[in-house]
Amino acid sequence: AAEQLSKSDTLGLRKKHLGPSCSLFFEKDPLKIVRAEGQYMYDEDGRQYLDCINNVCHVGHCNKRVVEAACQQLSTLNTNSRFLYDNLSLYARKLCSLFPDPLSVVFFTNSGSEATDLALRLARAHTDSFITITLEHAYHGHVTSAMEVSPYKCPEGKMTLPPYVHVAPCPDSYRGKHRDADHGPEELGRLYAKEVKDICEKVTKGGDRVGAFIAESMQSCGGQIIFPPDYLRRTYECVREAGGVCIADEVQIGFGRVGTHWWAFETQGVVPDIVTLGKPIGNGHPLSAVVTTPEIAKSFHSTGIEFFSTFGGNPVSCAIGMAVIKEVEDRDLKTHAKEVGDYLVSSLRSLMPRFPMIGDVRGIGLFVGIDLVRDRELRTPATEEARRLLFRLRQEGVILSLDGPYDNVLKFKPPMTFSKANVDRIVLLLQRLIPEIKEDATAGFQKKPEACNALTADKPVSRNARICVAPLIQPPGDLLCGMRRAQGCQSRMKSGYIAS
């Protein structure tokens, strides 16, 4: 009953009417999914797939409590935040109660991109500066302002970032500019924070003030990067000294995924000035939020510009958001994420002595990555093998994705209902598939898609390429000199192998 079209008609209509820039997972043989439950999805033939990547359906696909809350509120009232209704006030209080002081004010929006845009506006209003520091490989959304701070979507030559955006090296201890082979963890935290400090000093020496530093508190888009100890604490200090505010993007990693805390920034012992929330907040319903301090909210208000989002914080969204938080709390999914996540990491690490292709296993809670390599010593990314493995896993009914600058990192960010039995299944599969993959890859199994060539293993990406030129929006007058309009941009095409 759930299927209205044959798979080929579904694909045909999609190709005809959807913009081609929106890629599919497994482009050559896409999956058609007709229903889902918990951490499982089902195709048109009733075949089950274990979903290891959907961090949106946080408390499980089609979660009963969330569905009931939505239906009940939809049949009672749906209006907008210009009226008073209880569940907006109650949900705002509940959400803010999950944050440390002084983060106690929330704005409701409808997507992660919108949250990024609003966060940048708040920061710029508060500091009176457009200058923004972002990280290599970062992705913060598809709207113009968010793209400007998203090097992930801007391979060299495809799109340029405006001159008021500075890109700091990604604090990736395994593959980044400073590595664990040469430095201890504390030293790495210091070295990477120093990179941000250097940018801050350059800005202040030029007579300007930093506006904002924006970063995920663990970088999902860069390939499941766990920052070295104290990196954010040291970085936030430098940014604040230079007059800026710190934005934590918790769109992918928030709501207890890290297991020990509600928010990933807490694992680094910092309190940001602005936090963006999305994906899991509504378990699939389009809801997002920006949480900030009363002081920053006041600066924004004093610009005299009203904030209103037609759908942001509507009664249905609030009912859903509240149901998500209650599910995490009542089922203690945070503790569950820690237990299953620890089990996943230790099980994967136990494979390392037997499988040299597993170069690194990193993760906190249900945020885990496997960095696949051809040579452990040289850390040569096994991009080809990773693609092949992803495809074989799918054939076996397990859905994972690839990410990182070389597309060689297998990403785990499953619904929080993911179980130890699910981990056991994956570990068994990897033991069987990795040797198979290795043979096929050396035989030259699959040609890399054209659009990926510049970003894959054989041609290392220039990691610190400083991106210059063209604003996509009109910045303040004194920043205008020497800029030209971007000719356009093209997303990083990866043939459906990523899920950002």
Chain positions contacting ligand PMP, by CB under 6 A: 111-113, 116, 139-142, 216, 220-221, 249, 251-252, 278, 500
DSSP 186-218: HHHHHHHHHHHHHHHHHHHHTT----EEEEESS
Residue from 3, 59, 54 nearest 25 by CA: 54
User: Please, which residue, 221 or 373, has the CB nearer to ligand PMP?
Assistant: 221
Whether the CB-CB separation of 162 and 129 falls below 8 Å is answered with no
Residue from 162, 152, 220 nearest 455 by CA: 152
> What tokens appear for 77 in the block?
């009232």
Q: How far is the CB of 111 from ligand PMP (least distance, A)?
A: 4
Q: How far is the CB of 201 from ligand PMP (least distance, A)?
A: 27
Q: How many CB atoms lie within 10 A of CB 395?
A: 9
Report the alpha-carbon angle 139-141-143, nearest 5: 135
User: Please, which residue, 384 or 407, has the CB nearer to ligand PMP?
Assistant: 407
User: Please, which residue, 110 or 299, has the CB nearer to ligand PMP?
Assistant: 110
Q: How far is the CB of 141 from ligand PMP (least distance, A)?
A: 4
User: Please, which residue, 292 or 299, has the CB nearer to ligand PMP?
Assistant: 292
Closest residue by beta carbon to ligand PMP: 112
User: Please, which residue, 250 or 385, has the CB nearer to ligand PMP?
Assistant: 250
> What tokens appear for 76 in the block?
């009672």
DSSP 231-298: HHHHHHHHHHHTT-EEEEE-TTTTTTTTSSSSSGGGGGT---SEEEE-GGGGBTBS-EEEEE-HHHHH
Q: How far is the CB of 288 from ligand PMP (least distance, A)?
A: 6
Q: How far is the CB of 405 from ligand PMP (least distance, A)?
A: 16
> What tokens appear for 268 in the block?
């680094």
Q: How many CB atoms lie within 10 A of CB 78?
A: 14
User: Please, which residue, 2 or 473, has the CB nearer to ligand PMP?
Assistant: 473
Q: How far is the CB of 219 from ligand PMP (least distance, A)?
A: 8
List C-alpha distances in Å: 431 to 155, 393, 423, 487.
35, 12, 12, 47
User: Please, which residue, 268 or 299, has the CB nearer to ligand PMP?
Assistant: 268
Q: How far is the CB of 85 from ligand PMP (least distance, A)?
A: 25
